[in-house]
């Protein structure tokens, strides 16, 4: 009886992520030359510089870029730490992805601006989807995917994981994501899962990839985290604590306001050590309004 009483509130709590108003806000990573990367993303990818901030007391600068405003679109948050010109991307980070109506034209534009193409445009092996791969000045890989018009061109963050079933459960339970698609490619020895909050063609997704037999990857110090909006940071943190107990991972910053900014967040690691930050939706909106 006591056990049933204990499980009931937990069961209610675990329903919260599915009811919460969540969306991908931005992905954070480090670059060695902020102006160089801004120039590359705006000229080669067609992104817009949305805002830039310098925090000299902490010795870093940020730039936010994307294909639409931050209050409705997923964007990249680039971090430049004073005096640091290069980073180790590690073996675990995979790529970002950009959807384009004409990948061949996009590749031409990137090449004309001096960008590096690591896979020429063409259909994927055994399929009809047209893709290409480009590398930015810091070595981050961008998959370019040919698609019809989409409200979210910045459409994927791909990370490698050591146990796909565990990761799927983690992102479903801790973050309320849905498993949108799972693809096993035994001929190439990998399985992937697309996780997200809406249809894969309409929004940003997290692409988790498991390479047969590989359970651990190096993280490097380049890629940082994904930020996701929530209506209640404290309630979300309680859910994460429960899921951490079951599946692994840990909270790295307890729920509460950030000093000097006031925006409430909670940050945590998944079982593979990938970091996510949940950001209070109302606070995030206020932050954007005061730029």
Q: Is 143 annotated as a binding residue?
A: yes
Helix 2-19 / helix 164-175 crossing angle, nearest 10 deg: 80
List the structure tokens of 169: 């459960």
Separation CA 215–CA 118 (nearest Å): 26
- Kindly list the catalytic residues: 143
Q: Is 77 annotated as a binding residue?
A: yes
Rg (the chain; Cα; Å) = 19
Binding residue ranges for Zn(2+): 77, 95, 143
> Which amino acids are annotated as binding site, given as ranges?
77, 95, 143
């Amino acid at each position: 009886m006591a056990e049933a009483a204990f499980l009931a509130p937990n069961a209610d709590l675990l329903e919260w992520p599915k009811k919460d108003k969540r969306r991908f806000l931005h992905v954070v990573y480090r670059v060695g030359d902020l102006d160089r990367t801004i120039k590359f993303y705006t000229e080669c990818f067609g992104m817009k510089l949305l805002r830039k901030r310098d925090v000299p007391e902490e010795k870093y600068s940020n730039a936010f870029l994307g294909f639409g405003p931050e209050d409705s679109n997923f964007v990249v948050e680039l971090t430049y730490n004073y005096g640091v010109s290069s980073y180790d991307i590690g073996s675990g980070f995979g790529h970002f992805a950009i959807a384009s109506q004409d990948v061949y034209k996009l590749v031409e534009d990137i090449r004309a601006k001096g960008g590096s193409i690591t896979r020429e445009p063409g259909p994927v092996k055994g399929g009809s989807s047209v893709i290409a791969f480009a590398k930015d000045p810091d070595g981050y890989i961008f998959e370019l995917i040919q698609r019809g018009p989409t409200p979210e061109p910045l459409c994927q963050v791909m990370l490698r994981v050591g146990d796909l079933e565990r990761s799927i459960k983690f992102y479903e339970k801790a973050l309320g994501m849905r498993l949108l698609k799972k693809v096993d490619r035994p001929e190439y020895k990998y399985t992937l899962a697309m996780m997200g909050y809406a249809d894969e063609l309409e929004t940003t997704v997290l692409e988790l990839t498991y390479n047969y037999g590989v359970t651990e990857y190096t993280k490097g110090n380049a890629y940082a985290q994904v930020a996701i909006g929530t209506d209640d940071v404290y309630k979300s943190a309680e859910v994460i604590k429960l899921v951490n107990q079951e599946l692994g991972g840990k909270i790295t910053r307890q729920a509460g306001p950030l000093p000097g900014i006031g925006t409430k967040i909670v940050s945590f690691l998944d079982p593979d050590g990938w970091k996510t930050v949940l950001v209070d939706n109302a606070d995030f909106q206020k932050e954007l309004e005061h730029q």
